[in-house]
Structure 1
């Protein structure tokens, strides 16, 4: 009687790159659905592992977000280190930055929108890496423009970063060589911008007390106060981290008086986005009516957008980052309005410069939009005197070559 020896079961080994695979899947998930809209189960499913296996690598979602950002920034800084070492002119640094931004297209958006959800230790770590990154850009700007004051070199370096990472905020697709060419040319034009004089903005004095308002007046303006408070809180903390009671407390309204105006924070978010679109429609119509030709209309549109962004940063910031929290039909409606606005601006730019193709025009409009939105979120940029004039000059240089 013969006996057979049972075959031994194959030993399953954990892939060596499992951690990197998890980080890539998590970065993609966070970029698509946001931090609060993504679960550890979602990420585990995307990788093809169990949630238990995922927790062997990362204790929780917040830790995973931190490592996503640090990993992406570590790779970016290492490549810029190498580029700077091989080219003291700084040009290789700009080329490498654009290449990284197109390869890691979701990372900049993830950094901009989800930094507020990091643990404090990871925030510090991310900021240290960001300082190293921007230091490379300032040195590269200095190599091209040694005469610039420190404030100007710093502002140009931030704006160059915004141009490079702008593809993270749209879905326009082009062959990599064409995309790279457009962005690099925009950066080189930006680099030659003649900025208006700028220094630190002097502090503004405000009266320590406001005259009392009548009860009737307070009731009349209460909806506006609630919308303003909601926009500030959503823009600074994120929609998911804010309750409607937080919004009411910010303006001293509680209980039934709060729900008399808005039944939910989703209603407030919708109203904020409606206001944003109303502003855009108003200044777009004005620019088109007052422009004597396409070039002047593009300039007036840029001028109006910069003014709006500086006056209403919370409306703009909330619309950019939080629209996905609306019910999908509403969210898609506003995304379509936004796309139509970009397309309209791009067509106007094509009228001003007939050599531009539609994709090129859209990429340039997205680039200057990102420059402005990033600037009004940057406390150091906001401390600059005549930031509006500087941003208008940069935008004109990028899209009109003025």
Structure 2
């Protein structure tokens, strides 16, 4: 019989990390951002941490509670750090620098509040959205400090654009060294805040918040009604997918919104996924069309870039439901269609980035992609933001802002740094 020292039970028992809850929140942020709320289970998150699902339920009631705490915790941390920066900020620079640092540290968080907040209960959802508005208030303060000459509504527009630039990395996976990434985002923000953007230059009426896939007017012509019914179904589906989310919408919902019985949809589309595929493919077709036209019409690289930006902004304003669906619901496409769309999207971004490289040969391809992604994020966010989308000058204002984003210049050593391979979040 051994008389040597025996290992104690306490020493060999697996101890629970003191930061277990924080590690769960970080893992949940990554999983929800990558795979979506409905395609992520508590078991998936537990496996990513090499723990049991039971360990998750010690900290969170259910998956919705985990999503809520992920969003609220991340936003509260961001607000706290911005408020801390504000206390010593004399010119608005510290707040914006802190915003960039937070956006890279919590890179998946913005995608969650834009895409997954509708999966929360109304009260919790309001709490998340109020925090986003408080975040904008902090940015308005920073912009106003640097641009006291601007009217309040223009300060708010620039504040939303600054937020879009900062959170744009949430919508792609291009990898750059952290210092280079932060410097490039900061340069784009500075270019927007400090430039004399054109405001009030176009008196066109505000765009209505409707999808313009087709005119949805009533008709008594039965033959015409049958012909346009698929278009009405696409309009209804795009609006519902954009506002409620694909997973929360049923065939009966789409039929009711289009004024027909739900099962009648199957005369035109094989499934709900078929409707989503058609909406996303149409958005890609429009983008290819206006990009090709801009390249043919533009007499210089800069003019072609400006035409593409203006066409994209007008298209997004006319079809916010199509754009919103393409931005947030692609994750629900059948795998074959999803892979094809992600490749088409990535090829489109790369094509645009290579065109920017012609005008700005100092940019590495990944740096040019970051610039393009920031600009398109501004457009995508603006057309879905009811606080600014009704501005009568929005096309001209976003055009002026977008051009400054594309041509914002950081120090040369930051733009031509090591080219770390990375792919868009929408790439295969």
Normalising by structure 2, we get a TM-score of: 0.88
* Mapped contact 1:200–1:384 kept (Cα < 8 A): no
Deviations 1:312-350, CA, capped at 9 Å, x for gaps:
111111111111212222111110100110011111111
Greater RCO between the two (CA within 8 Å, min separation 6)?
2
1:2-401 matches, cutoff 5 A = 8-10=8-10, 11-191=13-193, 192-197=195-200, 212-254=219-261, 256-400=263-407
Give me the whole-angstrom Cα distance separating, in 2, the residues matched to 1:2 and 1:203.
85
Mapped to 2, the partners of 1:298 and 1:380 lie a distance apart of 27
More helix by share: 1
Q: Distance in 1 between matches of 2:158 and 2:46?
A: 41
Shift of 1:213: 2.6
CA distance in 2, matches of 1:2, 1:115: 61
Contact 1:200-1:383 at 8 Å conserved across structures: no
Question: Could you tell me whether the CA contact under 8 Å between 2:236 and 2:254 is conserved in 1?
Answer: yes
Aligned partners of 1:368 and 1:202: how far apart in 2? 21
The root-mean-square deviation of aligned C-alpha atoms, in Å, is 2.3
Residues 137-167 of structure 1 show CA distances to partners (whole Å, capped at 9, x for unaligned) of 1011001110111110000000001001111
Q: Is the deviation greater in 388-397 or in 11-20?
A: 11-20
The alignment's TM-score, normalised by the length of structure 1, stands at 0.94
Higher alpha-carbon deviation: 46-55 or 2-11: 2-11
Q: Which structure 1 residue ranges, 4+ long, deviate > 6 Å from structure 2?
A: 1-6, 198-204
Equivalent pair of 1:295/1:400 in contact (CA under 8 Å): no
Tell me, which stretches of 5 or more residues in structure 2 are unaligned? 209-215, 410-428
CA contact (8 A) 1:89 1:143 kept: yes
Contact map agreement 2:188 2:408 (CA 8 A) in 1: no
Task: Tell me if structure 1 keeps the 8 A contact 2:242–2:324.
Answer: yes
